[in-house]
Amino acid sequence: MDFNDTPEEAAFRKEVRAWLDANATRKSDDTQSNRARNDDPGLLQKAKEWQDKKAKAGYARITWPKEFGGRGGSPILQVIYQQEESNYLVPLGFFDIGLGMCIPTMMAYATPEQLKRYVKPALHGQEIWCQLFSEPAAGSDVAGIRTKAERDGDDWIINGQKVWTSGAHYCDFGIVITRTDPNVPKHAGLTMFFLDMKSPGVEVRPIKQMSGGANFNEVFFTNVRIPDSQRLGKVGEGWKAALTTLMNERLAVGLPSGGLDIDELMELARETELEDGAAIRNQQVRSKIADWYVQQQGLKLTRYRTLTALSKGQTPGPESSIIKIVAAPKMQDMGAFAMELMGHAGIMKEDVPFAAGFQAQWIGGAGFRIAGGTDEILRNIVAERVLGLPADIRVDKDIPFNKLTRS
């Protein structure tokens, strides 16, 4: 892959940079930490306003077809925009799941009328979507879900529980995977729907995290009635629909957005004094930073492999799994190292901006190593699909779900 911009790409980069300069603040102009910005109670509204501004300018989803509000552009143009946007202080993260996972699934299975109704409001930040997959007894094993949907005329009635649902407390809609037939093997009895999160019988309970935040939620369904017209795909083929979502999820969460990275760690090392002088001059500190810099470059180049496949119209391979296996521990380890470097100040997030960001990164990194596939699941994917190693033995493969032994 040629990493240099083509003349067309260079012109697009210049256009994007000029637009961002006119509409956002460069990071170099404001040293306020990412964590401090995330503590802003008005951040969601600011994010909606920024999303709407991006959508009106045609930058919200560059690769989407024009009829859905995109530009019909190449994945490379999307990357160029993201590269440039990363240099500015803008609110990120609220729309990643909806636009990166839920709406693409809707595009694959919803009716034209439904797409006309739901895509534009999501693109402009007017409505936010969540993904209702994981359950207390079905995390990495998504096909093991127990939330059931039972047919009642032209409607379905949903009962059950989801957990670790990011953003459910501020979301307007969600896609949900349910079990509609317990008499067949677990992958065969699933059906997917979309629903209004304000529907009667839907209860969202935020989960308080040790970081002080509450980004994840439990979601309970008690006799939630939705019409069959909100079914995505055929009855019993929910696993197929779920794979569409999960494929997009791997790409969407492969690298965290908006976190602190090498540049911020180097700035911290320059400003932190150790017994022998500035931390940036300490050989052990420099060695650590060098290791993470090499990992960062490796992650960037591996991601380009995914982009190369997309630019050629190919289905991305397991690169996104490789990226996440490296990126998640790196994110957590860097946070821990930065806090250690700051000493006692590393836990004083209210008074030390850098401590706030790196502390949140260290604590939140554990969740990132679970979201979108645990380290163990992703290693299995790489082992089986890249290295060709034998698959894990699955004793439940051909057994009806209602015959499986419950732990």
What is the set of active-site residues? 249
The neighbour count for residue 387, using CB atoms within 10 Å, is: 8
Q: Letter for the amino acid at 66?
A: K
Q: How far apart are CA 81 and CA 58, in angstroms?
A: 11
Q: How far apart are CA 123 and CA 228, in angstroms?
A: 25
DSSP class of 198? T
Q: Letter for the amino acid at 220?
A: F
Q: How far apart are CA 51 and CA 186, in angstroms?
A: 39
Burial class of residue 301 in the structure, from the number of CB atoms within 10 Å of its CB (0-12 exposed, 13-18 middle, 19+ buried): exposed
Whether 176 and 132 have beta carbons less than 8 Å apart is answered as: yes
Q: How far apart are CA 111 and CA 104, in angstroms?
A: 13
CA dihedral (9, 11, 14, 18) in degrees, to 10, reads -120
Q: How far apart are CA 107 and CA 252, in angstroms?
A: 16
Whether 34 and 265 have beta carbons less than 8 Å apart is answered as: no
Whether 45 and 121 have beta carbons less than 8 Å apart is answered as: no
Q: How far apart are CA 74 and CA 62, in angstroms?
A: 7
Cα-based distances in Å from 306 to 21, 76, 253, 254, 300: 29, 11, 13, 11, 10
Q: How far apart are CA 205 and CA 100, in angstroms?
A: 24
Whether 211 and 365 have beta carbons less than 8 Å apart is answered as: no
